[in-house]
Amino acid sequence: MDALLDSEDLHGAASLVEGMPPWLVVDILERSTAKDRAVLFRLLSKGAAHVVFEALDPPVQSELIRGLQADRVSQIFADLDPDDRAGLVDELPANLATRLLRGLSADEKALTDTVLDYPAGSVGRRMTPEFVTTHPETTAGETLERVQRRIDDVETIYGLPVTDGQRRLVGIVGLRTVMRADPATPISALMNEAVTARARESAETAARRSAEERLIVLPVVDEEYRLVGILTFDDALRVLEDAESEDTARQGGSEPLRRPYLTTPVRSLVRSRVVWLLVLALGAALTVQVLEVFEATLEQVVVLSLFVPLIIGTGGNTGNQAATTVTRALALGDVSPRDVLRVMLLEVRTGATLGLVLGTAGWAVTGLIYGADLGMVIGLTLLALCTIAATVGGMMPILAQSVRADPAVFSNPFITTFVDATGLIVYFLIARAVLGL
């Protein structure tokens, strides 16, 4: 493909793209430069272009739109589902977004405004306001007729919310159940109680509820329990994927890219990492200060310096393990801030046990090579440090969530910095006590 574009053989490129499945076209576009991406996209048929565009991440969609002609852009924008349209609006320059919204039909603009009215990060911003509903007194046969009339206008038909005369949600029924029932059976005899999400609650929370309940459709309701939209399973999976990417990035000390790696400009990669590196560099200065304070101790027993990397590495790894485990438990709902004391006690015992195992090994090996006194220093330090690191690592994510911060932010990078300094203090204090320095 690159060779065809370099030689400007657009006919050959169009023939090659025409026979490709959409997922492969998406993969090629995500690996292409912005200029080549726009050229390739213009070669797609209208139907293929719609499918491919929907599969791209919003930042890539935004970049692509700015490289296309105005008439093609307007048509693509109008063909998107309202929730996908809202996601793209967040990535576009304000003047371009306003112009595209102004070009929508009255009905499509109203549907898009419904989604945009909810806060960023809420499930209302990720739901689709296009759905088929039915009524408790409506029969199975009448419901099927309604589905057939609207089958091309909605995102999914496999889960049908049941509402009363005031649009309040009273239940949900699956399409298979309706098709299997006698046409004269009222929906009230077929429907089940619905698992719901409030429109302003976190999209991640709602998506996890959808995944835990194995739902095809999660009805979204307002404060009066009126149905305002649905979260489909594919949108729920996308929300969870975004959340997982964000947590992974922040645990590693960077910001999430929110787009495929190969399409990310160097300036964005630098921006996602540099702030955290500066913060962590300042934190690492604490470690230098600790070494300076205990410089006299190191001069008396130079061999202590050999074990500084071991102490720092073991403490950091222990804290990171605890933080990652608790952060994941928070995300899955296994733990909440009210469990802080239980988590602390559990991590104290876990850290102490790990410290006992590692400390015993450190005491035996170090004592054999460097003498019993130094072996005692290393063993006691590992015991104390593992206990402290595991406890701090387990507590940090819970404290972060308590103050409505991202638990992942308080995880690995900050814990590593904290434990590095604390571990050295513990190490040198134990060394002074045991060796009589």
Cβ atoms 277, 353 nearer than 8 A: no
Cα 253 to the center of its chain, rounded Å = 15
Q: Which of 22-26, 127-131, 361-365 shows the lowest per-residue confidence on average (mean pLDDT)?
A: 22-26
Tell which residue, 67, 65, 68, 55, has the closest CA to residue 90: 65
pLDDT tens digits, one per residue of 305-325? 888 888 888 988 898 888 888
Cβ atoms 366, 301 nearer than 8 A: no
pTM score, whole prediction: 0.67
- Predicted local distance difference test score (pLDDT) of residue 143: 94
DSSP string, 320-387: HHHHHHHHHHHHHTS--GGGHHHHHHHHHHHHHHHHHHHHHHHHHHHHHHH-HHHHHHHHHHHHHHHH
Q: Which of 267-271, 284-288, 421-425 shows the lowest per-residue confidence on average (mean pLDDT)?
A: 284-288
Residue 49: pLDDT band (50, 70, 90) is confident
Q: What percent of the chain has pLDDT over 90?
A: 32
* Between residues 70 and 23, the one the model is more confident about: 23
Contacts of 86 (CB under 8 A, 6+ apart): 112, 115, 116, 125
Contacts of 181 (CB under 8 A, 6+ apart): 140, 189, 190
Contacts of 319 (CB under 8 A, 6+ apart): 389, 390, 392, 393, 412, 415, 416, 418, 419
Kindly list the distances between the CA atom of residue 278 and the CA atoms of 38, 230, 270, 285, 413, in Å, as whole numbers in the listed order: 37, 42, 12, 11, 12
Indicate if the pLDDT at residue 137 is higher than 90: yes
- Predicted local distance difference test score (pLDDT) of residue 13: 66
Q: What secondary structure letter does DSSP report for 186?
A: B
Cα angle 181, 185, 187 (rounded to 5 degrees) comes to 90
Q: Can you list the domains of the chain with their CATH numbers?
A: 2-120 (1.25.60.10), 140-251 (3.10.580.10), 265-435 (1.10.357.20)
**Which letter, b or e, does each residue of 346-371 get, where b requires 16 or more Cβ atoms within 10 Å of its Cβ?**
bbeebbbebbeebbeebbeebbeebe
- Predicted local distance difference test score (pLDDT) of residue 180: 94
Residue 327: pLDDT band (50, 70, 90) is confident
The pairing of strands 159-163 and 169-174 is antiparallel
Q: What are phi and psi of 260, to 5 degrees?
A: -55, 145
- Predicted local distance difference test score (pLDDT) of residue 159: 93
At 311 the three-state DSSP class reads helix
Q: What are phi and psi of 233, to 5 degrees?
A: -65, -35
- Predicted local distance difference test score (pLDDT) of residue 15: 67
DSSP string, 51-115: HHHHHS-HHHHHHHHTTS-HHHHHHHHHHS-HHHHHHHHTTS-HHHHHHHHHTS-HHHHHHHHHH
Instruction: State whether the Cα torsion 376-379-382-387 is positive or negative.
Output: negative
Type of residue numbered 255: E
Cα 201 to the center of its chain, rounded Å = 16
pLDDT tens digits, one per residue of 225-261? 999 999 999 899 989 888 887 777 766 666 677 777 6
> How far is it, in rounded angstroms, from Cα 142 to Cα 201?
34
Q: Which of 113-127, 238-252, 328-342 shows the lowest per-residue confidence on average (mean pLDDT)?
A: 238-252
Q: How many CA atoms lie within 13 A of 30 on its CB side?
A: 18
Residue 122: pLDDT band (50, 70, 90) is very high
Instruction: Please provide the size of the chain in residues.
Output: 437
* Between residues 279 and 400, the one the model is more confident about: 400
> How far is it, in rounded angstroms, from Cα 408 to Cα 204?
14
